[in-house]
């Protein structure tokens, strides 16, 4: 690997703008069908908060609302400190293009301290990543090439007609940044949106769809993420209800060592 900036790091590189805002630009490496991959937008908003001079501690939670389509080109992000205590801090951020708030986010940061620990759930059973073939053929979307996918179960099968019977919404995937990049909270925020929209998988048919809101909880601190390095993350997703233009999605992301790194949920809009 050369010393060139990783595409994700390039996507979250900002320059100072007026009134304390940060100026950024959409990344062609993470382009989706009609806008950026939602995960990179989450990563950009989180990185802007991490860079805020008043920020304390590490990310604990993030909710991103995708308010309007993000056009290719320049944007600005403004971060506001909502409230800060001795160990917990609340920040708010807006991604703006022109006069339009295209996305906003609330984020919780904290100075973590060691306490009693307990894992109430176990890592899903899966063969090691090297035993699972890398997904070769992908839809022609740039952001899919920014990741290496190894589907254990739940590879979407899509065509021109819906399945006669709805298929399972579950997927289990080993996934990693491509080219490799050590895991941190910025890349973890992006990975929380790594799954193909569940309605595509369940129906087997591509229809207009978009994530409206996504909440991610970061259970791992920086040291745990550093232990993961560039190894693939085991990502598990499921949905329970579809109808009236919306469906849910819940997901878990696990380290190669069996530690729960993040849990995430989102609501997705879709149209017939």
The per-residue pLDDT for range 10-67, each reduced to its tens digit, is 999 999 998 899 999 999 999 999 999 999 999 999 999 999 999 999 999 999 999 9
The pTM for the full model equals 0.97
Measured CA to CA, the distance from residue 261 to residue 217 in angstroms comes to: 9
The pLDDT, as a whole number, for residue 137 is 83
Is 58 within 8 Å of 3 (Cβ atoms)? no
Share of the chain above pLDDT 70, in %: 99
User: Which one, of 186, 189, 188, 180, lies nearest residue 230 by Cα?
Assistant: 180
pLDDT band with cut points at 50, 70 and 90 for residue 2: low
Q: Which fold has domain 7-112+127-270?
A: Porin (2.40.160)
Mean pLDDT of the chain: 97
User: How sure is the predictor about 1, in pLDDT bands with cuts at 50, 70 and 90?
Assistant: very low
20 Cβ contact partners less than 8 Å away, ≥ 6 residues apart = 78
Across 99-108, average pLDDT: 99
Judge whether residue 76 has pLDDT over 90: yes
Lowest pLDDT segment from 137-146, 222-231, 261-270:
137-146
Give the Cα separation of 68 and 205 in Å (integer).
24
Q: Are 69 and 31 in contact (CB under 8 A)?
A: no
Contact by Cβ (8 Å): 142, 72: no
Residues 6+ apart with CB under 8 A from 121: 252, 260
Give pLDDT tens digits for 149-204. 999 999 999 888 999 999 999 999 999 999 999 999 999 999 999 999 999 999 99
Q: How many CB atoms are closer than 10 A to CB 112? A: 13
How far apart, in whole angstroms, are the C-alpha atoms of residue 79 and residue 191? 22
């Amino acid at each position: 690997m050369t010393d060139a900036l990783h595409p994700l790091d390039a996507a979250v590189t900002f320059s100072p703008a007026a009134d304390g805002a940060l100026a950024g630009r959409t990344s062609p490496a993470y382009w989706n069908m009609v806008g950026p991959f939602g995960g990179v937008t989450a990563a950009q908003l989180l990185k802007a908060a991490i860079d805020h001079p008043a920020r304390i501690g590490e990310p604990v939670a993030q909710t991103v609302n995708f308010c309007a389509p993000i056009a290719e080109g320049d944007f600005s992000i403004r971060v506001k400190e909502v409230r800060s205590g001795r160990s917990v801090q609340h920040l708010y951020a807006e991604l703006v293009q022109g006069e339009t708030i295209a996305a906003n986010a609330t984020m919780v940061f904290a100075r973590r301290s060691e306490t009693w620990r307990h894992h109430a759930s176990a890592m899903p059973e899966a063969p090691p990543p090297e035993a699972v073939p890398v997904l070769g053929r992908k839809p022609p979307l740039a952001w899919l090439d920014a990741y290496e996918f190894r589907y254990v179960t739940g590879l979407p099968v899509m065509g021109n007609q819906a399945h006669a019977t709805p298929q399972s919404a579950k997927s289990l995937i080993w996934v990693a940044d491509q080219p490799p990049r050590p895991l941190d909270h910025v890349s973890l925020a992006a990975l929380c949106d790594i799954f193909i929209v569940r309605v595509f998988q369940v129906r087997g048919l591509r229809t207009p769809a978009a994530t409206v809101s996504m909440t991610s909880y970061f259970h791992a601190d920086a040291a745990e993420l550093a232990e993961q390095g560039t190894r693939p993350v085991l990502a598990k997703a499921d949905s329970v209800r579809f109808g009236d233009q919306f469906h849910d999605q819940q997901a878990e992301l696990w380290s190669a060592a069996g530690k729960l790194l993040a849990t995430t949920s989102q609501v997705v809009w879709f149209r017939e």
